[in-house]
Structure 1
Amino acid sequence: SMLAPLLLLLILCAGDAQIQVSTNVVDILVTERSGFSVSLTESSSKERVDVHPYEGEDVLASPGNLTFWLKENETRWINVSATRAGHAVISVNSADTEHFVTVNVFKVRWLNVLSAIFGWVYFVAWSVSFYPQIYLNWKRKSVVGLDFDFVFLNVTGFVAYSTFNLGIFFSTVVQEEYLSSHPSGAIPVQVNDIVFSLHATLATVITAIQCLIYERQNQTISLAARILLGALWLAALIFLLVTVAGVNPYTPWFTFLNFVSGVKLAITLIKYIPQAFFNFRRKSTIGWSIGNILLDFTGGVFSMLQMFVIAYNFDDWTSLFGNVTKFGLGVVSIGFDVLFMLQHYVFFSSHKKKSHPTPYAEALSSST
């Protein structure tokens, strides 16, 4: 009969101890105390519980190594306090279950607020930065002056950036792999990174569509850019297949996402070069919106400021460089933005009207 094994299974399951913790994340000021509770359910007997620092032991003043017994439906409060700012992980385990509680210890409370403000400032600035170019293209019904290599490299770059952010933020597997590589580091992706990267992908796709439907004269994607884009997409596909096949036994998905973030960084390093050279060759920035550059510069500055505030407040400088894409994006973007501002306001400012004696020239010189 199948009934007897089923009843035995139910009895065994009912006897399994289930350790639960009230939270998996504790955020505290370095001078404060906080904690979490541990409880036991579905146990017919007492259960031994071990609590000990798993990572970042030097950050914690308490708890140390604790061992205690819990009865069914009993709860035990665990005090948490810190010796310094940083990140730590506490292991809570019994014979059958194990939980990890991440402790984030910060120096100054108002710096957390400032960090959030900086994050939303760069989110708004970078998000809005796409629209001056989109509007200029729509107003002219032309993309003459906008380099196609830049546009389509940008699309690929933001697809890669979105993939990196989504993978790090939503996948617990990737987060565990990340923390194994950065034991005391915080996950270096926040909600506004997710929203920004997805919106940026949409905005760059819209710009690419404009390149296909508006007046473009003889402008097209260069052969070099086509070869590069094809190679990047092919490399990403091969890397993904290798990851799925389990060839890398250590941190496969985090390694893949690091490759994807490297694609974004590589594109950021080179994507502005075609547009800068295009402006130089034409001795004009007409058709290339300076509004885009001013907003991009603002976003880059505040992005960098936020990362330094987080690193200082949590005394965790490894997280500053843990997100290679975001840190590199800020440094490189700011440098190119300065170059474009020099092109627009200094080098080619006197060439705006005489370079393009078209009906649009006056409007464009004021729009750009």
Structure 2
Amino acid sequence: MTSGYLDSLSPPAGEALSTALGWTYFVAWSVSFYPQIILNYRRKSVEGLSIDFLVYNVYGFACYAIFNTAFYFSKSIGEEYARRNDGHQSLVRFNDLFFSYHALALSLITFAQSFHYTRSATQASSLIARTFFYFTLAGLALVSMFSSVYNTVYYLSFVKLGCSMVKYVPQAWLNYRRKSTIGWSIHNIILDFTGGLLSFAQLVLDAILSGNVAEALGNPVKFGMGLASIGFDLVFLVQHYVLYTDRYDPLKFETRLRRQGSPPSYGSAENSDADSVQTY
């Protein structure tokens, strides 16, 4: 889709397309949290899942929720944004707000599972993750003391961006060390990849329709989240489908039944062969 075609769209049509992209990416990204939760529940274990990834997720989405809440509801912050951006309005949409709340809630559930279900003795948050957490909290305290509320809220968006840029690294490294993606849901990645593409597309579309393409950078957290998701998801897809193709997982319910000689039958083609239980 070219900018010339977008320029020819009427404002209602452009807004409708943006809304459709927004809610579609919201669904894809929101649903992407569930496969990992379900996988942890079925395995009764979080082995193979990076604890650092969970810490960055909770911390990042907490910052993102506060950022979106402030930009969506605060009139003073909206006015300040307009003054700094030639009168243009913030590109934070209701779907962004709702997504951040939903993502934070599901990230907290996944994090809680890491305390409830089995994990290996070496699974713990790293010194790097703890340092990032305390360092950025100290930065938040300084910004809130010596700068405006607008800058403080904007600082949170960069914390979230930082979390998005680094949170996948520990999981990719863990997969590499284990030479396996068992315990890490590939369905999460496929949905996350889809959401990243759509989020990026909506942001660029909104900027083009507003007449200021550079405005896409006015929401750096959304811009960065989309790019980070796309890039790292490609890494995970290669790891899962090309590098580490052994899907045997003795912790999975179906696999245990098969080892006992009692293959389950769910009456669907998806579970009609032995390989179907090894798709995570």
Aligned counterpart, 1:230: 134
Q: 1:330 aligns with which of 215, 226, 231?
A: 226
- Residue 28 of structure 2 is aligned to residue 120 of structure 1: no
Deviation for aligned residue 1:296: 0.5
Greater relative CO (CA pairs within 8 A, separation 6+): 2
Contact 1:186 1:319 in 2 (8 A): no
| TM-score, scaled relative to structure 1 | 0.65
Letter in 2 for 1:224: I
Aligned counterpart, 2:207: 311
Q: By percentage of residues, which structure has more strand?
A: 1
In structure 2, how many angstroms separate the alpha carbons of the residues matched to 1:254 and 1:318? Answer: 20
- Residue 152 of structure 2 is aligned to residue 290 of structure 1: no
CA distance 1:361–1:141, shift in 2 (3 Å): closer
| TM-score, scaled relative to structure 2 | 0.85
In structure 2, how many angstroms separate the alpha carbons of the residues matched to 1:365 and 1:319? Answer: 46
Deviation for aligned residue 1:137: 0.4
In structure 2, how many angstroms separate the alpha carbons of the residues matched to 1:258 and 1:236? Answer: 10
- Residue 78 of structure 2 is aligned to residue 194 of structure 1: no
In structure 2, how many angstroms separate the alpha carbons of the residues matched to 1:229 and 1:312? Answer: 36
CA distance 1:225–1:165, shift in 2 (3 Å): same
In structure 2, how many angstroms separate the alpha carbons of the residues matched to 1:108 and 1:224? Answer: 47
Deviation for aligned residue 1:362: 6.5
The 5 Å alignment of 1:73-92 reads none
- Residue 247 of structure 2 is aligned to residue 352 of structure 1: yes
Aligned counterpart, 2:110: 207
Deviations 1:232-277 (A, max 9, x none): 223223322x1xxxx44xxx12211221111011111111000000
In structure 1, how many angstroms separate the alpha carbons of the residues matched to 2:201 and 2:128? Answer: 35
In structure 2, how many angstroms separate the alpha carbons of the residues matched to 1:262 and 1:343? Answer: 29
In structure 2, how many angstroms separate the alpha carbons of the residues matched to 1:316 and 1:108? Answer: 15
Aligned counterpart, 1:80: none
Deviation for aligned residue 1:173: 1.2
In structure 2, how many angstroms separate the alpha carbons of the residues matched to 1:163 and 1:302? Answer: 23
Q: 1:255 aligns with which of 147, 151, 161?
A: 151
Q: Secondary structure at the match of 1:216?
A: coil
The 5 Å alignment of 1:131-150 reads 131-150=34-53
Deviation for aligned residue 1:228: 1.8
Q: Whose radius of gyration is greater, 1 or 2?
A: 1
Contact 1:157 1:264 in 2 (8 A): yes
Aligned counterpart, 2:32: 129
Runs (5+) with no aligned partner, structure 2: 1-6, 256-275
Aligned counterpart, 2:261: none
Deviations 1:87-110 (A, max 9, x none): xxxxxxxxxxxxxxxxxxx84432
Aligned counterpart, 1:163: 66
Contact 1:136 1:367 in 2 (8 A): no
Q: By percentage of residues, which structure has more helix?
A: 2
Contact 1:158 1:200 in 2 (8 A): yes
In structure 1, how many angstroms separate the alpha carbons of the residues matched to 2:127 and 2:201? Answer: 38
Letter in 2 for 1:125: A
Runs (5+) with no aligned partner, structure 1: 1-84, 86-105
In structure 2, how many angstroms separate the alpha carbons of the residues matched to 1:117 and 1:264? Answer: 25
The 5 Å alignment of 1:11-50 reads none
Letter in 1 for 2:211: D
In structure 1, how many angstroms separate the alpha carbons of the residues matched to 2:48 and 2:33? Answer: 16
CA distance 1:183–1:278, shift in 2 (3 Å): same
Q: Among the aligned pairs, what percent are the same residue?
A: 41
CA distance 1:322–1:305, shift in 2 (3 Å): same
Letter in 2 for 1:155: V
Contact 1:107 1:313 in 2 (8 A): no
In structure 1, how many angstroms separate the alpha carbons of the residues matched to 2:277 and 2:24? Answer: 28
Letter in 1 for 2:130: R
Deviation for aligned residue 1:223: 2.0
Deviation for aligned residue 1:186: 2.1
Deviation for aligned residue 1:164: 0.8
Aligned counterpart, 2:216: 320
Deviation for aligned residue 1:222: 1.4
Aligned counterpart, 1:221: 125
Aligned counterpart, 1:74: none
In structure 1, how many angstroms separate the alpha carbons of the residues matched to 2:68 and 2:179? Answer: 38
CA RMSD of aligned residues (A): 1.8
Deviation for aligned residue 1:361: 8.6
